[in-house]
Amino acid sequence: MCEISVAIASYNVAQYIEQCLLSVLNQDFEDYEVLVCDDCSTDNSMSIVQQIVQHHPNGYKVRIVSSSTNKGTAVIRNNGIDNAKGKYIFFVDGDDYISANALSILYAKIQETDVDLVMGDLEKFTENPDGSVTVNKNPYKYQSDTIKSPYAIAECMRRNHTDFYPLGTVNKLFKKSFLIDNNIRCVPEHSIIEDIYFVFQTIVKANSISVVEDVTMYYRQRVGSALHIDVREDRMNIYIQVFDQIVNDIQKMKNQGLNVPVQLYYTLTNRYISGFVTRNIVNSKLLSKKQKKDYLNHISVITRMGIGRKDMIGKSSKICFSILGLHNKLFLMKCFFSVRKFFLEGIKAFR
């Protein structure tokens, strides 16, 4: 038994795993364990981990949890939850790293406030081909705060005047009992964007959250990562599956008479669907025009079903998508993003 379990998701990150693991082992906090959850890596990631474990004075804190076959990030995230001995759990990706005092800062806050989760600030960076590093400014910085109320995360968004909430498991210290009692897990079928539905569950279930302004994680943005590659049909089907499940759950909540906060719609539809998914569809070189039209029309219909009159994104998208038969892709993209921006500005003006 320990206070914090740090679960590192690892798959073929030999180039980065040393920096990641050392950042965890060199913490100024004592009572924690490290779970390296490996998804059957085919490179020498685990050899590097074993070398560090053998020679680092805190190597005894590390346990390796390996999958017998490659099953996707969702499964190894769940492996971290299942094998954690700590009272709290903190997720890290093997290609990122954390600040030297990340655990002590987040632990002190969750001890002080007794909340379901504590979120730190995140610094994104890109390693350039010439070896230099570009730090990408975070325009959605949250103010330090503690909120205890139903839909605490949505209330935190409202107080910070933003429709953005980080859609990832990382950089948040969760009370493990909160995850276990609410059966919050990643869905194995959501193998490439396992974070989205997990975060949706936390937004719905969390009755308390604390935020600290300290940077506790450094997030590496790299071209070869899962979120930065061209999409094909099987990958897009997973995106759509995640979105459908979220919208269906929201519809069930509405049917039960629950007052679902508008921030929940915005962060999951505007940021995830109208932003990330739609952009991937439009920019894909692996999807045919018919596939693009079918996917975008599906998004348009299901978005309006889930949001109703709260948002005009579904209607604006449907108008824009009707011009998919045009051959001028630049014109298509210009029309889509211009109309989308127009409607978003209109929505915000009347919020």
DSSP string, 78-93: HHHHHH--EEEEEEEE
Please say whether the beta carbons of 213 and 141 come within 8 A.
yes
* List of residues 6+ apart from 85 with CB closer than 8 A: 1, 2, 5, 33
Quick one: pLDDT band at residue 350, thresholds 50, 70, 90?
A: very low
User: Does pLDDT of 74 surpass 60?
Assistant: yes
Please say whether the beta carbons of 284 and 292 come within 8 A.
yes
Please say whether the beta carbons of 145 and 211 come within 8 A.
yes
* List of residues 6+ apart from 210 with CB closer than 8 A: 109, 110, 112, 113, 115, 117, 118, 119, 145, 146, 147
**Alpha-carbon gap, residue 311 to 267, rounded angstroms:** 12
Quick one: pLDDT band at residue 341, thresholds 50, 70, 90?
A: low
For a pLDDT cut of 70, what percent of the chain falls above it? 82
> Which residues are registered as beta bridge partners of 97?
218
Please say whether the beta carbons of 202 and 154 come within 8 A.
no
Listed as own residue / partner, the contacts of 330-338 with beta carbons closer than 8 Å and 24 or more positions apart are 332/282, 333/282, 336/278, 336/282
Q: Is 1 exposed, middle or buried (0-12, 13-18, 19+ CB in 10 A)?
A: exposed
Q: What is the residue extent of each domain of the chain? A: 2-226, 230-349
- CATH class of the domain at 2-226: alpha beta
Please say whether the beta carbons of 199 and 185 come within 8 A.
no
**Alpha-carbon gap, residue 100 to 335, rounded angstroms:** 46
* Strand runs labelled E in the chain: 2-10, 32-38, 62-66, 86-93, 97-98, 117-127, 133-136, 145-148, 172-175, 208-220
**Alpha-carbon gap, residue 67 to 306, rounded angstroms:** 36
Q: What share of the chain is helix, strand, coil (3-state, %, to 5)?
A: 50, 20, 30
* Strand runs labelled E in 94-206: 97-98, 117-127, 133-136, 145-148, 172-175
Over residues 214-237, the mean pLDDT reads 78
What letter represents residue 103's amino acid?
A: L
User: Does pLDDT of 351 surpass 50?
Assistant: no
Find the range with the poorest average confidence among 43-47, 214-218, 271-275, 325-329: 325-329
> Which residues are registered as beta bridge partners of 36?
8, 64
For 164-192, letters b (16+ CB in 10 Å) and e give bbbbbbbbbbbbbebbeeeebbbbeebbb
Strands 62-66 and 145-148: unpaired
Instruction: Give helix 289-307 / helix 233-255 axis angle, nearest 10°.
Output: 10
Using one digit for the tens of pLDDT, what is the confidence trace for 111-163? 999 999 999 999 999 888 787 888 887 767 899 999 999 999 999 999 998 87
User: Does pLDDT of 207 surpass 80?
Assistant: yes
Over residues 256-268, the mean pLDDT reads 81
User: Does pLDDT of 349 surpass 90?
Assistant: no
Please say whether the beta carbons of 270 and 300 come within 8 A.
no
Q: What is residue 317's three-state secondary structure?
A: helix
The pTM (predicted TM-score) of the whole model is 0.84
pLDDT attached to residue 28: 97
User: Does pLDDT of 251 surpass 90?
Assistant: no
Quick one: pLDDT band at residue 306, thresholds 50, 70, 90?
A: very low
Over residues 321-327, the mean pLDDT reads 47
Residue whose token pair is 């600030």: 121
**Alpha-carbon gap, residue 32 to 90, rounded angstroms:** 10
